[in-house]
Amino acid sequence: MSKPKKATETGRTPMDAALRFLGARARTVREIERHLDACEYGEVEVYETVERLKELGLVNDLAFANEFVRTRLATKPISRAHLREQLLAHETAQDAIDEALQQVDEETQQRSAISVADKYARQYARLPQEERDEMVIRRLLSRGYSYDEARAALREAVQETEV
């Protein structure tokens, strides 16, 4: 067991700062390291704190990435490519990203694209068909789907609404 971490002038130890930072939401290892660096804790203190958080199961990049992908697909479907970008923005470990994105197979990608296309096709239903289709395609492209995926999803969504 390592000795207690030195407190700064504010009286907070690196562990206190890390736990407070984790209180808002799950974080990646790198996000915690950056936060503690910004709090001006030493390199050794930061390393020891992060390692202890890992031991306690309070920080785990793979669990973070898996949960991120699961919730994002359930709440605001986006493409695999867009998920990768967002996980990279959180500075998630590459191996954790790769493993978490295995949840998004071709079928899942297609279903999520159709879900988005359906939502926007209904939203823009009063527009002329050509304008509606263009708007839906733009929305799908903005969520990281390829043009071919967007066209296929739009066709599927329009078929479902016509039935």
What CATH number should be reported for the domain whose range is 61-103? 1.10.10
How many residues make up the chain in this entry?
Answer: 163
Cα gap 32→41, rounded to integer Å: 12
Cα gap 69→18, rounded to integer Å: 24
Instruction: Per-residue pLDDT tens, the chain, 163 aa: give them.
Output: 444 445 544 558 999 999 999 988 899 999 999 999 999 999 999 999 999 999 999 999 999 999 999 999 899 899 999 999 999 999 999 999 999 999 999 999 999 999 999 999 999 999 999 999 999 999 999 999 999 999 999 999 888 666 4
| pTM for this predicted structure | 0.79
Task: Give the torsion sign (CA, 25, 28, 30, 32).
Answer: positive
Q: Is the separation of the CB atoms in 65 and 99 below 8 Å?
A: yes
Cα gap 160→148, rounded to integer Å: 18
Q: Please check whether the domain covering 106-162 is classified as CATH 1.10.10.
A: yes
Q: Kindly list the domain boundaries of the chain, sorted by start residue.
A: 14-55, 61-103, 106-162
